[in-house]
Amino acid sequence: KQEVTQIPAALSVPEGENLVLNCSFTDSAIYNLQWFRQDPGKGLTSLLLIQSSQREQTSGRLNASLDKSSGRSTLYIAASQPGDSATYLCAVIGGAQKLVFGQGTRLTINP
Amino acid sequence: DTAVSQTPKYLVTQMGNDKSIKCEQNLGHDTMYWYKQDSKKFLKIMFSYNNKELIINETVPNRFSPKSPDKAHLNLHINSLELGDSAVYFCASSQDTPDTQYFGPGTRLTVL
């Protein structure tokens, strides 16, 4: 059974810092890994999708890496801004064709 | 031009009632999903439909019944509501199962 873990559960950093969010999964047989953002009281917004054959994906100040063999992914946020404050969720799709989520990292960027 | 919409946004009801949540997507996607986010913010899939056909049915009580009248709509009907059903329910869609999923804004269900 696939399990996804995100560390840390919460993170607070000053504006302008670079930061890394971590995600690990127990079953390396995945199709892809996705990073989402959830704002309070809102739905999820897809940030990046990494196919199992890829090592990383970039979108603006965001860079996500994937090491499938070790069951790890990181989301790197450069030059953080207060608007980046949100909960970040990692999720994987495997053979069961369903998205399995981690519990998220609640990120606060302090002005 | 909302991509995935849900109604209602909030739903407060008494135990034992029957309620429905509607979901519509205008992205032309073939696959739609229902997720439940509990009080600890943990998101878990409940159902998945592809072209109106049920493909994922997680271990949820049979009081929950999804209905897909066409591939743009996936509604969730809940019978005999219980306190433990209180949660935020999210609808999502994707072109195919392993593709990027687009989520609706969620429906916060409170059972009193």
Cα distance between residue B42 and residue A3, in whole Å: 12
Q: How confident is the model at residue B56 (pLDDT cuts 50, 70, 90)?
A: confident
- Residue in chain B closest to A3 (alpha carbons) equals B44
Pairwise CB contact (< 8 Å): B103 & A45: yes
Helical (H) or strand (E) element with B21: strand B19-25
Mutate: best of B101, B102, B107, B108, partner A, most A CBs <10 A? B101
Half-sphere exposure of A69 (CA within 13 A, CB side): 1
- Of B105, B89, B91, B90, the closest CA to residue B29 belongs to B91
- Of B40, B31, B29, B45, the closest CA to residue B90 belongs to B45
Task: Tell me the per-residue pLDDT of A9-41, one tens digit each, with 9 for 90 and over.
Answer: 999 999 999 999 999 999 999 999 999 999 988
**% pLDDT > 70, chain B:** 98
**A41-45, B27-31, B33-37: range with lowest mean pLDDT:** A41-45
**Across the interface, which of B41, B90, B98 has its CB nearest the CB of A93?**
B98
Burial B6-42 (b: 16+ CB within 10 A, else e): beeeebebeeeeebebbbbbeeebbbbbbbbbeeeee
* DSSP category for residue B98: T
Cβ contacts (< 8 Å) between A46 and chain B: which residues?
A: 100-103
Task: Tell me the per-residue pLDDT of B1-25, one tens digit each, with 9 for 90 and over.
Answer: 669 999 999 999 999 999 999 999 9
* DSSP category for residue A9: S
**Across the interface, which of B33, B43, B45 has its CB nearest the CB of A89?**
B43
Task: Tell me the per-residue pLDDT of A73-111, one tens digit each, with 9 for 90 and over.
Answer: 999 999 999 999 999 999 999 877 788 999 999 999 999
C-alpha distances out from residue B44 to A70, A102, B41, B47, B71, Å = 24, 10, 10, 10, 22
Q: For the purposes of burial, counting CB atoms within 10 Å of the CB of A35, is it exposed (0-12), middle (13-18) or buried (19 or more)?
A: buried
Tokens describing residue A96: 């069961």
- Mean pLDDT value across chain B: 91
Scanning chain B, the segments in alpha helix (DSSP H) are none
Q: How confident is the model at residue B55 (pLDDT cuts 50, 70, 90)?
A: confident
* DSSP category for residue B40: T
